[in-house]
Amino acid sequence: MKCNLFLVFILLALTACKQTSSNPNNKDMDRFVDQLMSQMTLEEKIGQMNQLAIGFDITGPILNEGVEEKIKAGSVGSVLGIYTPEATRKLQELAVKESRLGIPILFGYDVIHGHRTIFPLNLGLAASWDLDLIERTARIAADEASADGLHWTFSPMVDIARDPRWGRVSEGAGEDPYLGSLITRAYIKGYEQNDLSQNNTILSCIKHFALYGAAEAGRDYNTVDMSRIRMYNEYLPPYKAGADAGAATFMTSFNEIDGVPATGNHWLLTELLRDEWGYQGFVVTDYGAIREMISHGVGDEREVAELSFKAGVDMEMVSELFYQYGPELVKSGKISEKVINKACRRVLEAKYKLGLFDDPYRYCNEEEKAKRYFTAENLAVAKEAAIKSMVLLKNDNELLPLDSTKKIAFIGPQVKRKRDLIGSWSAAGDYNQAVSLWEALDSKFGANRFLYAEGCNLLEDTLLIRKLNGFGSKIERSEKSSQYLIQEALNIARRADVVVAVVGEAFSMTGEAASRSDIQLPENQRELLKALAQTGKPVVLVLMNGRPLVLQWENDHLNAILETWFGGTMTGPAIADVLFGDAVPSGKITMTYPRNLGQIPIYYNYKNTGRPIHEEQKYTSKYLDVPNTPLYPFGYGLSYTTFEYSDLTLETGHAPSVQEISINIKNTGKYTATETVQLYLRDKVASITRPVKELKAFQQIELQPGEEKTLTFEISENDLKFYNSDLEYRAEPGEFDVFIGGNSCDTKQATFTY
Ligand code: BGC
């Protein structure tokens, strides 16, 4: 019986897919899903809404038991945490050959900044402002992941983040809704290629819906409370961009919104996402998030399951409460079967679009993987991405690039370490394949040309080390005392012309559940830096970290600072190229760097108060002990060359543009380099208060020394729109200031009227 049904089903599937492969047509899909669902029991439909974790413990404890039995029973729609064609094929066979209807499983995984080839952290990638590059990294990630048996990535993370204490800032694009929206689209395009029927594209997932980045005090999973005006204008745009771009899936967030956890929030998941935005894909919860609503205090197991069903969740990640209580909730009339039908349909549609009914094993091709991961081309893009992500924060007296004929001492725990290079959320990445800075120096010049000292341990704090090692770090403390390590480093530094100090966070100090209340460099590293500075030798600070740090002391006392994030597989060669001038840094930070912790949250697109800062007047909005300005503003990043901006001119645009704005840029330095030219607007008077400036456009331009070009921006009515107090998206007439520059602070300014 099972066999017969299976054959009928396969025939049906083949016919449907044949028809759609040349002409993807929703009617065929609808017919196919209708026929399939007409054979499904209520339990099997709820089974499609059930996602279980198996394999690797990367996001929390593995909660699910009896996964294989449940697959055979048709109670599992998706599995997360497993990859490789061999492993996924084994489970797929259980689903296809041994469950009653043979519905294939969807394999999901956290492919966040690369799969096997690891690119820089997402915050680093964002600093490239290079949308084409970001799309290419996602394309490669999809190619490698799909060759590894995966159908679905839980990426991009698009949460706007203004608080660097939050460890997950490393996974996103930073603080700006406009740039964040463009980057969201680039990832989706890279993963999905507008064509899920290819066997090297995967479903993307917009997460974490919504407002997860606004957790109070930067503490992960914490309460969020926000006005609708702020939500619509500042936090929701990247999610909406994801919905508009047709991202295949959305993931709920762990936080609450208006007092209701996102995972049970009907307003969020149905009224906003479905009714207002018209989103068609399916919604998965975050890991165990339905069960977590019990701790939020909104019900017991049955009640939270009911809340999530009603809110509009289509698939539950790991907590199995749908599976447990779904049938009974329908039979008792608490939820309508229509709710289940809608959700099950959406999940089946995703499987159909991927072609899994046509060939459930099309992503389990063992021969493909060797051809598709870790190719020379992928590594070249990884190196390009690492270079373009780097941000030069300071470079006094053109200390960088370094002259390789000088005596250079590389000092610090991150010169040779590999463990941290691929950063957090590099789940299938292998840090042993990453190239360290020392290895890169060795192959570029021969390492014996340089001096080296470890300088200090990565961390001294034993409690923190124990915690981090428990989460996968490999932090060891040297037998030598920190005084001894510093002495050793000083002896080396004194023999050098220039010191390059390579320090930073451990990879596990950023990412999920990695909030920090103090975001300076670890104390023992700061002691090393102080000692090095006292030698009087010029010091270049090379940073590896996953969030903006407080770097006031370093900025005041060291000569050059290069932010390299965790650069991924090709970190070492990329840093070596930048340090020695074979590549010119062009990254610009997409999160503000504060002067001290007390300034947080600090971001460039803030609102004016009724008492704007005035240093000489007491009752104005300021601190007594620190300026209002950040250490490094949004959009900031130096180059080895310099750019001069001039001749900002305005012209009335031809429809649909309302204003044409031109600016002249000249490369006034010695290096061919790329500049990211940024345009900000300020709506001077409006029906609600508006930010002091908002990014509205940018262009990247490469100029040779002495070369000069004029760039033109066209501003349309759309660029002037915002959500007013009735949440209508309108442009209001009046005056607008326009600012253009190489960062959000140093700009040329003009005014136009709309
Ligand atoms: C994280 C998600 C992730 C999920 C699955 C959760 O803990 O918040 O971002 O996609 O686990 O691994």
> How far apart (Å, rounded) are the C-alpha atoms in residues 545 and 532?
20
Average pLDDT over residues 404-432: 95
Residue range 222-247: average pLDDT?
A: 98
Cβ–ligand 1 distance for 170 under 6 Å, the answer no
First to last CA, the chain: 71
Q: Which atom of ligand 1 has the smallest separation from the CA of 155?
A: 10
Nearest CA to ligand 1 atom 7: 59
Question: 14-24: b or e for each residue (b if 16 or more CB lie within 10 Å)?
Answer: eebbebbeeee
Q: Indicate the top mutation candidate among 110, 111, 285 to test ligand 1's pocket, ranked by most ligand atoms within 8 A of CB.
A: 110
Ligand 1 near 352 CB (within 6 A): no
For residue 723, how far is its CA from the centre of ligand 1 (angstroms)? Answer: 31
- Between the CA of 513 and the centroid of ligand 1 the distance, in Å, is 11
- The CA distance from 484 to 536, in Å, is 20
Q: How confident is the model at residue 58 (pLDDT cuts 50, 70, 90)?
A: low
Ligand 1 near 287 CB (within 6 A): yes
pLDDT digit string, tens, across residues 527-553 = 999 999 999 999 999 999 999 999 999
Read off the pLDDT band of 482 (50, 70, 90).
very high
pLDDT of residue 472: 79
pLDDT at 290: 98
The best mutation among 58, 154, 211, 283 to test binding of ligand 1, ranked by most ligand atoms within 8 Å of the C-beta, falls on: 154
Find the mean pLDDT for residues 4-26.
45
Residue with tokens 């209508």: 728
In this prediction, residue 60 has a pLDDT band, given cuts at 50, 70 and 90, of: low
Q: Calculate the dihedral angle through the C-alpha atoms of 295, 298, 299, 301, rounding to the nearest 10 degrees.
A: -50
Report the C-alpha gap between 423 and 307 in whole angstroms. 36
Return the percentage of the chain with pLDDT > 70, whole number: 96
Instruction: State the pLDDT confidence band at 288, using cuts at 50, 70 and 90.
Output: very high
Going by alpha carbons, the residue nearest to atom 8 of ligand 1 is: 286
What's the mean pLDDT in 190-201?
97
* CA 610 / ligand 1 centre spacing (Å): 41
Burial class, 4, CB count within 10 angstroms (exposed 0-12 / middle 13-18 / buried 19+): exposed
Q: What confidence score (pLDDT) does residue 427 get?
A: 83
Mean pLDDT across the stretch 213-232?
Answer: 98
- As given in the structure block, the two tokens for residue 644 are 């001069």
Ligand 1 within 6 A of CB of 60: yes
Q: Alpha-carbon distance 12 to 97, whole Å?
A: 16
Q: Among the options 163, 176, 286, 314, which is catalytic? A: 286
Going from the Cα of 60 to the center of ligand 1, the distance in angstroms, rounded, reads 8
| Ligand 1 pocket residue status of 299, Cβ below 6 Å | no
Question: Atom 4 (ligand 1): residue with closest C-alpha?
Answer: 287
Mean residue pLDDT across the chain: 95
- Calculate the alpha carbon distances from 449 to 76, 410, 414, 446 in Å: 58, 11, 19, 6
Quick check: is 286 catalytic?
Answer: yes
Confidence bin at 25 (pLDDT 50/70/90): low
Domain architecture of the chain: domains with CATH: 2-369 (3.20.20.300), 373-599 (3.40.50.1700), 643-753 (2.60.40.10)
pLDDT in tens, 305-321: 999 999 999 999 999 99
- Centroid of ligand 1 to alpha carbon of 286 (angstroms): 6
> Which has the closest alpha carbon to 239: 266, 264, 205?
205
CB distance 55 to ligand 1 below 6 Å:
no
Report the pLDDT value the prediction gives residue 568, as an integer from 0 to 100: 98
Q: Mind spelling out the 3-state secondary structure of 466-490?
A: HHHHHCCCCCCCCCCCHHHHHHHHH
Q: How far is the CA of 428 from the centre of ligand 1 (A)?
A: 14
Cα-to-centroid distance, 429 and ligand 1 (Å): 17
Averaged pLDDT, 746-750: 98
Contact 473, 506 (CB under 8 A): yes
Integer-rounded Cα radius of gyration of the chain: 27
Mean pLDDT, to the nearest integer, of 358-372?
A: 89
pLDDT of residue 18: 34
**Confidence tier at 57 by pLDDT (50, 70, 90):** low
Instruction: Enter the tokens of residue 274.
Output: 């479905």
Pocket test for ligand 1, best of 205, 471, 512 (most atoms within 8 A of CB): 512
Beta bridge partners of 316: 50
Per-residue confidence at 431, pLDDT binned at 50, 70, 90?
very high
Joined together, the tokens standing for residue 381 give: 């893009």
Probe target for ligand 1 pocket from 286, 510, 515, with the most ligand atoms within 8 Å of CB: 286
Tokens linked to 147: 């060759």
Q: Parallel, antiparallel, or unpaired for β 729-730 and 152-153?
A: unpaired
Distance CA 434, CA 199 (A): 28
Token pair listed for 510: 């950023």
Instruction: Tell me if 154 CB under 6 Å of ligand 1.
Output: yes
The protein residue whose alpha carbon is closest to atom 12 in ligand 1 is 59
Measured CA distances, 206 to 228, 247, 250, 353 (Å): 20, 7, 5, 18
- Count of Cβ atoms closer than 10 Å to residue 580 Cβ: 17
Residue 293: exposure state from Cβ atoms within 10 A (0-12, 13-18, ≥19)? buried
pLDDT digits (tens, 9 = 90+) for 198-222: 999 999 999 999 999 999 999 999 9
CB 162 within 8 A of CB 603: yes
| Cα 182 to ligand 1 centre (Å) | 23
Task: Specify the pTM.
Answer: 0.96
Indicate if ligand 1 lies below 6 Å from the C-beta of 159. Answer: no
365 falls in which pLDDT band (50, 70, 90)? confident
Of residues 24 and 590, the one with the higher pLDDT is 590
Atom number, ligand 1, closest to the C-alpha of residue 317? 5
Would you give the DSSP letter of residue 80? E
Low-confidence winner among 4-18, 54-68, 107-121, 175-189 (lowest mean pLDDT)? 4-18
Q: Is 207 in the pocket of ligand 1 (CB under 6 A)?
A: yes
Predicted local confidence at residue 353, as pLDDT: 98
Which amino acid is located at 46 in the chain?
Answer: I
Calculate mean pLDDT across residues 446-463.
96
| Across 14-20, average pLDDT | 39
What DSSP letter does each residue of 265-322 carry, written as one string?
-HIIIIIIIIIIT---SEEE--TTHHHHHHHHTS--HHHHHHHHHHHT--BEES--HH
CA distance 325 to 305: 7
Which of 6-15, 104-113, 479-488, 647-656 is predicted with the least confidence, judged by mean pLDDT?
6-15
Determine whether the shortest distance from the Cβ of 719 to ligand 1 is under 6 A: no
pLDDT of residue 28: 96
Quick one: average pLDDT of 739-753? Answer: 98
| pLDDT level of residue 61 (50, 70, 90 thresholds) | low
Measured in Å, residue 237 CA sits from the centre of ligand 1 at 21
59 lines ligand 1 (CB under 6 A): yes
Neighbours of 102 (CB within 10 A): 20
Q: Which amino acid residue places its CA nearest to atom 10 of ligand 1?
A: 154
Phi, psi of 66, deg, nearest 5: 60, 35
The pLDDT value given to residue 4: 41
Amino acid (1-letter code) at residue 487? Q
Structure tokens that stand for 172 in this block: 């996103």
What's the pLDDT score for residue 410?
Answer: 98
Least Cα distance to 591 among 560, 532, 654, 636 occurs for: 636
Q: Please, what's the largest Cα pairwise distance for the chain? A: 87
Query: Is the model's pLDDT at 74 over the cut of 60?
Result: yes
> Do 374 and 117 touch, CB atoms closer than 8 A?
yes
Q: What is the pLDDT of residue 15?
A: 41
Q: How far apart are CA 465 and CA 475, in angstroms?
A: 6
In the numeric block, which tokens belong to residue 550?
Answer: 């407080």
Please identify, by atom number, the ligand 1 atom nearest to the C-alpha of residue 157. Answer: 9
pLDDT at 745 over 70: yes
Q: Would you call 659 helix, strand, or coil by DSSP?
A: strand
Q: How far apart (Å, rounded) are the C-alpha atoms in residues 745 and 678? A: 10
Instruction: Give just the sign of the alpha carbon dihedral 286, 290, 295, 297.
Output: positive
Residue type, 376: A
Joined together, the tokens standing for residue 145 give 């992941």
Q: What is the pLDDT of residue 8?
A: 42
Band of pLDDT at residue 367, cut at 50, 70 and 90: confident
> What are the DSSP calls for 421-473, one per residue?
TT-SS-TT--GGGSPPHHHHHHHHH-GGGSEEE--S-S---HHHHHHHHHTT-
Q: What are the pLDDT digits (tens) for 699-730?
A: 999 999 999 999 999 999 999 999 999 999 99
Using one digit for the tens of pLDDT, what is the confidence trace for 600-624?
Answer: 999 999 999 999 999 899 999 999 9
User: Using CA atoms, how far apart are residues 23 and 570, in angstroms rounded to an integer?
Assistant: 41
* Ligand 1 mean position, distance from CA 111 (Å): 11
pLDDT score, position 704: 98
Q: Which atom of ligand 1 is nearest to the CA of 207?
A: 9
Residue nearest to atom 6 of ligand 1 (CA): 287
Residue-wise pLDDT for 664-683, tens only, equals 999 999 999 999 999 999 99
- Closest atom of ligand 1 to 154 CA is 10
Question: Is the CB of residue 110 below 6 angstroms from any atom belonging to ligand 1?
Answer: yes
Residue 163 beta carbon below 6 angstroms from any ligand 1 atom: no
298 C-alpha to center of ligand 1: Å?
A: 22
Amino acid at 564: T
For residue 58, give the ligand 1 atom closest to its CA: 12
Residue bearing tokens 């300014």: 749
Q: Which amino acid does the sequence have at 470?
A: G
The values of phi and psi at residue 79, to 5°, are: -130, 140
CA distances (Å), 100 to each of 6, 7, 42, in order?
A: 7, 11, 13
